[in-house]
Structure 1
Amino acid sequence: MSATSQPPDYPHFLGSEIEQGDPARAAVHVLPVPYEKTVSYGGGTRNGPSAILDASWQLETWDGHSSPCERGIHTCDPIDCSGDADSVIASIAAATAAIVRHGAFPVVLGGEHTVTGGVLKGLRDAGFDDFGIVQIDAHADLRDAYEGDPLSHASVMKRAVDLGIPIFSLGVRAFCEEERDARLAHGVHHLDAEELVPNNISSLTLPDDFPAKVFFTLDIDGMDPSVFPSTGTPVPGGLGWYQSLGLFESVAAQRQIIGFDIMEFSPIPGFHAYDFAAALLAYKMLGICERHGHLPD
Structure 2
Amino acid sequence: MTEFDQLVAPGYPVFLGSEFKQPEPDKAFFHILPIPLEESVSYGGGTAEGPAAILKASWQLETWDGKSEPSQRGIYTHPPVDVSGTAEQAVQRIAEATTALVKAGGFPVALGGEHTVTYGIIKGLIDAGLDNFGVVQIDAHADLRDAYEGNPYSHASVMKRIVDLDIPVFQLGVRALCREEMDIRKLHGVGHLDADILVPKNIYSIDLPDDFPDYVFFTLDIDGMDPTIFPSTGTPVPGGLGWYQTLALFESVVKKRTVIGMDIMEFSPIDGFHGYEFSAALLAYKMMGIVEREAFRECLNR
Do the structures match in fold with TM over 0.5?
A: yes
Q: What is the distance in 2 between the residues matched to 1:4 and 1:238?
A: 33
**Structure 1 residue aligned with 2:82:** 80
* CA deviation after TM superposition for structure 1 residue 80, in Å: 1.2
- Give structure 2 stretches of 5+ with no counterpart: none
| Correspondent of 1:68 among 54, 59, 70 | 70
Q: Is 1:99 equivalent to 2:97 in the alignment?
A: no
Q: Is 1:229 equivalent to 2:231 in the alignment?
A: yes
| Correspondent of 1:180 among 173, 179, 182 | 182
Q: What is the distance in 1 between the residues matched to 2:92 and 2:30?
A: 21
| Correspondent of 1:16 among 6, 18, 28 | 18
Q: What is the distance in 2 between the residues matched to 1:88 and 1:258?
A: 22
1:259 aligned counterpart, secondary structure: strand
- Give structure 1 stretches of 5+ with no counterpart: none
**CA deviations over 1:193-242 (Å, ceiling 9, x no partner):** 00000111011011111000000000000000000000000000000000
Q: What is the distance in 2 between the residues matched to 1:169 and 1:270?
A: 33
Give % identity: 67
| Correspondent of 1:199 among 198, 201, 217 | 201
* CA deviation after TM superposition for structure 1 residue 5, in Å: 5.3
CA pair 295-44 structure 1, distance change in 2 beyond 3 A: farther
1:261 aligned counterpart, secondary structure: strand
**Structure 2 residue aligned with 1:135:** 137
**Alpha carbons 1:13, 1:75 under 8 Å: kept:** yes
In the TM superposition, structure 1's runs of 4+ consecutive aligned residues that sit over 2 Å from their partners are 3-9, 294-297
CA pair 296-127 structure 1, distance change in 2 beyond 3 A: farther
Mapping of 1:1-297 within 5 angstroms? 6=4, 9-293=11-295
Q: What is the distance in 1 between the residues matched to 2:92 and 2:198?
A: 36
**Alpha carbons 1:21, 1:75 under 8 Å: kept:** no
**Alpha carbons 1:105, 1:296 under 8 Å: kept:** no
**CA deviations over 1:238-286 (Å, ceiling 9, x no partner):** 0000000000000000000000000000000100000000000000000
* CA deviation after TM superposition for structure 1 residue 21, in Å: 1.8
Aligned residues: 295
1:154 aligned counterpart, secondary structure: helix
**What root-mean-square deviation, in Å, do the aligned CA atoms of Structure 1 and Structure 2 show?**
1.5
2:19 aligned counterpart, secondary structure: coil
**Alpha carbons 1:30, 1:75 under 8 Å: kept:** yes
1:81 aligned counterpart, secondary structure: coil
* CA deviation after TM superposition for structure 1 residue 4, in Å: 6.2
Q: Give the TM-score, by structure 1 length.
A: 0.97
**CA deviations over 1:135-154 (Å, ceiling 9, x no partner):** 00000000000000001100
Equivalent AA in structure 1 for residue 253 of structure 2: V
CA pair 294-215 structure 1, distance change in 2 beyond 3 A: farther
**Alpha carbons 1:5, 1:16 under 8 Å: kept:** no
Q: What is the distance in 1 between the residues matched to 2:298 and 2:108?
A: 11
**Alpha carbons 2:4, 2:13 under 8 Å: kept:** no
Equivalent AA in structure 2 for residue 262 of structure 1: I
* CA deviation after TM superposition for structure 1 residue 295, in Å: 11
CA pair 4-171 structure 1, distance change in 2 beyond 3 A: closer
* CA deviation after TM superposition for structure 1 residue 296, in Å: 11
**Alpha carbons 1:31, 1:78 under 8 Å: kept:** yes
Q: What is the distance in 1 between the residues matched to 2:18 and 2:123?
A: 33
* CA deviation after TM superposition for structure 1 residue 81, in Å: 1.4
Equivalent AA in structure 1 for residue 153 of structure 2: L
Q: What is the distance in 1 between the residues matched to 2:43 and 2:218?
A: 24
Q: What is the distance in 2 between the residues matched to 1:296 and 1:22?
A: 25
* CA deviation after TM superposition for structure 1 residue 10, in Å: 1.2
Q: What is the distance in 2 between the residues matched to 1:295 and 1:49?
A: 30
* CA deviation after TM superposition for structure 1 residue 58, in Å: 0.3
Q: What is the distance in 2 between the residues matched to 1:4 and 1:191?
A: 41
Q: Give the TM-score, by structure 2 length.
A: 0.95
2:260 aligned counterpart, secondary structure: strand
